[in-house]
Structure 1
Amino acid sequence: MDWDYLRYIHALATGGTFAKAGEILGVHQTTVLRRLDQMEEQMGIQFFERDREGLHLTPVGETAFREADRLASDMENLERQLIGQDTVPVGKVRLAATDVMVNALIGPLVSELLQAYPDIELEVLTDNDVLNLSHRDADLTLRPVNKPQATLEGDRIATIESAVYGSPDYCQRHPDMDLDNAPELNSWILPDESFSHLATGRWYRKSLKNTRSLVRCNSLQSMYSLARAGVGLAVLPCYLGDITTDLRRLTPPLEGEGVDLWLIVNNETRHMARVRLVMEFLGQRLLGLGPHIEGTA
């Protein structure tokens, strides 16, 4: 027996007429009439007697209705159970971010997250180049971007500000450096072409056209490590440069070089309870780090 037949029997018995059954099922009454004729003919069974007052169940129809009513109740209970399970934060959540964001921003929050929700499994996907962070591969993506695609949903966290940093040793060896008028006379740790889309990449091209002493890196983590080692000066996000005493901030945040930080959610998984919970958890705590990210802490 076609399971769909029971839906029609249940609606016909509940509504009492073809018109009311059609309203329950969301179809035209002629469709209901056609389906009833079809199932009675195929099965050789009369489920309803028809008269001017409406439809009346036959003994066989009453048996079918009882089963249909039981199944309808079971389906409602199953739906409630599934919805209830989905409200429990259990399962894997995939988070994509750059290495430096994991180290300086996300890392300290993960322990707190897993202590609060031990049934969540967090999978962290990292890449040095933010352009390689795919929203399709992750449930959540922490990404610096001023204008997310219109099809993406997420929360703006703060503006990532950057400044010039150098180690105490480098500063001691270059006491007369003049970053306002002659920044190119210093040794610099520069990003390679993979950073050309970032605001800091534009600052380098504008301010350090004639510098000769330089090291190029393809990751902020490498720039951070080399700057701490005293190799040269580097423009770093304030949330990264300010976390260690091995670096000194030598300028205010560079004017006009900020980029927004967004926590973007995958449209296909955004309704899952565990994804919503992790997004809210990280979003609230990252908002609390706003002054740290914007270099005003």
Structure 2
Amino acid sequence: MPYSLDHIRTFQAVVKHGSLLAASKQLALTQPTVGRHIDLLEDALGIQLFTRGRAGMRLTEKGADLVGVANEISGSALEFERVAAGLEEQISGSVRLSTNQIFGTLLLPGLVAAFMQTHSEIDLEIVVTNAVSNLLQRDADIAIRMFRPTQNDLIARKVTDLPMGLYAHKNYLDRNDAPQTLAALKQHVLIGQDRSPTLIAAFHSAGIDLTRGDFNFRCDDDVAALHAVRAGIGIGPLHTGMAARWPDLVRILPQLDIPPLQLWLACHADVRHNKRIRLVMDFLAQKLSSPYANCSI
């Protein structure tokens, strides 16, 4: 049986992860299927690509020589698919969106509800992750990002700035006097991230010198951190437009100049002329210009 592009992609996954099991999880295939792909590829090429052992799959010298070629072949195939998607004229089909936890769980469903009623021929696939989806690898068709995209070959559109503030629930402030200075802020229960450094960097840019140890409640899940503020655990950062939806939240140190989050939409340049993707992107650009206007969260 001749090898196929799928077998080459399996080869890449095994090279990347070093085991059949890990590669199978990435590819959403069974472990025996991944092993069969490698066997077929080796039989077709007449060379051994890996040595098998307790430590996993190790590239042979000949297998290592083929990694660069495999990457070129896979990259060309992805480019072919992107260009083909960009030439697609029909509206019906799927559009895959990548967004962070706050938007994906609390905002996006409400924003796209009306769109899906009007355009029932379009299926929306939502990838909720704080990791940066690789649009070049077709992880998503459109990405909603809180920073300006810098990857080459991307079309990026800035939608708006999202003002930020520090907030606490009234119940917390009933037990604790609201801080009036930055120095007093450190005497309060602060809600922040656990391992991610982004929030600490944002505080530093606002002139607040905090370390991980200054946060009494630490969590890298943005939705959990948001609900910690709403539960009255302590003080934490929120988008001001979102916080306004909850009247029991009080802004802390409103004079504090916290840099806003930039809201961007991005897609690969090859698919910018795809009518379906362009339709969804234009809709999102309009709705996300004031993301909290028509949402009940």
Shorter-chain TM-score tier: 0.5 to 0.7
Paired residue for 1:159? 161
Deviating 4+ runs (over 6 angstroms)? none
| 1:244 counterpart letter in structure 2 | W
Paired residue for 1:66? none
SS in 2 for 1:268: helix
| Cα offsets for 1:75-121 (capped at 9, x unmatched) | xxxxxxxxxx9544210000000110123432221101101101000
Q: How does 1:117-266 map onto structure 2 within 5 Å?
A: 117-127=119-129, 129=130, 131-135=131-135, 136=137, 137-146=139-148, 148-196=150-198, 200-202=202-204, 206-209=208-211, 212=214, 214-252=216-254, 254-266=256-268
1:212–1:97 Cα change, 3 Å: closer
How many residue pairs get matched? Answer: 208
8 A contact 1:100–1:240 mirrored in 2 = no
SS in 2 for 1:193: coil
| Cα offsets for 1:141-199 (capped at 9, x unmatched) | 00011463353212101112210010110011113532444110111111123242785
8 A contact 2:145–2:265 mirrored in 1 = yes
1:210–1:114 Cα change, 3 Å: closer
Aligned mates of 1:213, 1:99 — CA distance in 2 = 21
Quick one: which of 276, 280, 285 aligns to 1:278? 280
1:168–1:197 Cα change, 3 Å: closer
Aligned mates of 2:242, 2:290 — CA distance in 1 = 16
> How high is the TM-score relative to the length of structure 2?
0.61
Q: How does 1:55-74 map onto structure 2 within 5 Å?
A: none
Q: How does 1:278-297 map onto structure 2 within 5 Å?
A: 278-289=280-291
Gaps of 5+ in 2: 1-86
Q: After alignment, is 270-279 or 282-291 more displaced? A: 282-291
1:268–1:114 Cα change, 3 Å: same
Higher Rg: 1
Superposition RMSD in Å? 3.1
SS in 2 for 1:149: coil
8 A contact 1:157–1:290 mirrored in 2 = no
Aligned mates of 1:195, 1:240 — CA distance in 2 = 23
Aligned mates of 2:110, 2:94 — CA distance in 1 = 19
8 A contact 2:144–2:263 mirrored in 1 = yes
| Cα offsets for 1:32-72 (capped at 9, x unmatched) | xxxxxxxxxxxxxxxxxxxxxxxxxxxxxxxxxxxxxxxxx
Aligned mates of 1:290, 1:111 — CA distance in 2 = 14
Paired residue for 1:94? 96
Aligned mates of 1:210, 1:219 — CA distance in 2 = 15
| Cα offsets for 1:125-152 (capped at 9, x unmatched) | 011x2x4333230000000114633532
| 2:93 counterpart letter in structure 1 | G
8 A contact 2:97–2:140 mirrored in 1 = yes
Q: How does 1:73-112 map onto structure 2 within 5 Å?
A: 86-112=88-114
Aligned mates of 1:236, 1:143 — CA distance in 2 = 16
| 2:164 counterpart letter in structure 1 | S
Paired residue for 1:268? 270
How many Å apart are 1:286 and its aligned residue? 1.3
SS in 2 for 1:260: strand
8 A contact 1:105–1:286 mirrored in 2 = no
Aligned mates of 2:186, 2:107 — CA distance in 1 = 31
